[in-house]
A and B are shown apart, each in its own frame.
Chain A
Amino acid sequence: MIHVKDVTKDFGDGNVLNDINLTFNDHEITVIMGPSGSGKSTLLRCLNYLEVPTNGTITVQDTVLKEDPKVLESVRKKVAMVFQSFYLFNHLTALKNCTLAPRRVLKLSDTDALNRAEDSLSEVGMAAFKNRKPSHLSGGQKQRVAIARSLAMHPDVLLFDEPTSALDPENVGEVLQTMTSLAKKKMTMIIVTHEMQFAKRIADRVIFMDQGSVIEDRPAKDFFAAPASKKAQAFLAHLG
Chain B
Amino acid sequence: MTFLGRLWTLFVSGYPLLLEGLQTTLLLAVIGTIAGLFIALLLITVQSFHVMPGEPLVTRASKRLSARLSKIYVAFFRGTPMLVQAMVFYYGLNQMGVRIGFFAAGLIVVSLNTAAYLTEVLKAGLNSLDVGQTEASLSLGMSHFQTYVRVLLPQALKNMVPAIGNELIVNIKDTAVLSVIGVGELFYMGRAIASTTYRYTEAFILVSLVYLVTVLIAVEVLKRVAALFGKEAPRLTSQSEGLV
**Which residue numbers of A lie inside 8 Å of B, CB to CB?**
48, 50, 66-69, 71-77, 79-81, 83, 85, 87-91, 100-101, 104-105, 146, 149-150, 153
Contact = CB atoms under 8 A, between A and B. Distances in A.
Interface in B44-73: 52-55
B127 interface: no
Q: For the complex, would chain B's binding face be called helix, strand, loop or mixed by DSSP majority?
A: helix
Contacts of B137: 89, 101
Contact of A69 (B135, B144, B150): B144
A87 B130 contact: yes
Nearest to A71: B54
B155 A90 contact: yes
Nearest to B133: A87
Given A80-B140, A81-B136, 6 more contacts: A69-B144, A76-B140, A77-B141, A88-B136, A91-B151, A101-B142
A48 B53 CA distance: 17
Going nearest first, the 10 A-B pairs with the smallest beta carbon separation are A77-B141, A68-B54, A87-B132, A87-B136, A101-B140, A76-B141, A81-B139, A105-B141, A67-B54, A73-B141
B146 interface: yes
A66 B54 contact: yes
Interface in B141-163: 141-144, 146, 150-151, 154-155, 158
Contacts of B144: 69
Contacts of A150: 140
Contacts of B52: 67-69
B243 interface: no
Interface of B: 52-55, 130, 132-133, 135-144, 146, 150-151, 154-155, 158
5 contacts: A69-B52, A87-B132, A87-B133, A104-B150, A149-B140
Contact of B135 (A79, A87, A100): A87
Contacts of B130: 85, 87
A90 B133 contact: yes
A100 B141 CA distance: 11
B138 A85 contact: no
A171 to B, nearest CB: 19
A73 B143 contact: yes
Given A69-B52, A89-B151, A76 B133 contact: no
Nearest to A106: B141
A117 to B, nearest CB: 13
Nearest to B139: A81
Listed residue (B52, B141, B151, B158) with the most chain A CB atoms within 10 angstroms of its CB: B141
Contacts of A75: 141
Contacts of B150: 100, 104
Contacts of B133: 87, 89-90
B120 to A, nearest CB: 22
Contacts of B55: 69
A48 B52 CA distance: 16
Contact of A104 (B136, B142, B154): B142
Given A67-B53, A90-B155, A153 B141 contact: yes
